[in-house]
Amino acid sequence: MHCAFQDDENVYLVLDLCPGGDLFWLSHGQDSGRLPEYAAKFYAAESVLALADLHARGVIHRDVKPENLMLDVDGHVRIGDFGVAARLRAEAAFEQPSVRGLSGTINFMPPEVFVKARKHDHRADMYALGVTIH
């Protein structure tokens, strides 16, 4: 995101143009309904790096899926739709930072997210990416 601003009625987010669509659209445009292996490896690697950067900043996306992995003008992955993203927090100094709550798209959620009281962390994003890659 480059910037955000608002007026009396709307909030505006200025993002990069992603004319390549998203991975869902791209994969369903193939005769087989899936990406060629070389393309899947490339997009998977870029997605891992993008999520690692996000996690290093203390943010968990919580809705990783093909529709939220978009392709920029050069064909590189951009993560979109941060509507349910959260900042990871540790309740005590010795705890791993985590979040609580049910969020995301059911088909891509790890089991621990289904239990509302159960904490989860950045590994939930990696699980969802694994489902996406599969």
DSSP 5-32: EE-SS-EEEE----TT-BHHHHHHTSTT
The sign of the torsion formed by the CA atoms of 41, 47, 50, 53 equals: negative
Task: State the CB neighbour count (10 A cutoff) for residue 58.
Answer: 13
Active site residues: 63
The sign of the torsion formed by the CA atoms of 11, 14, 16, 19 equals: positive
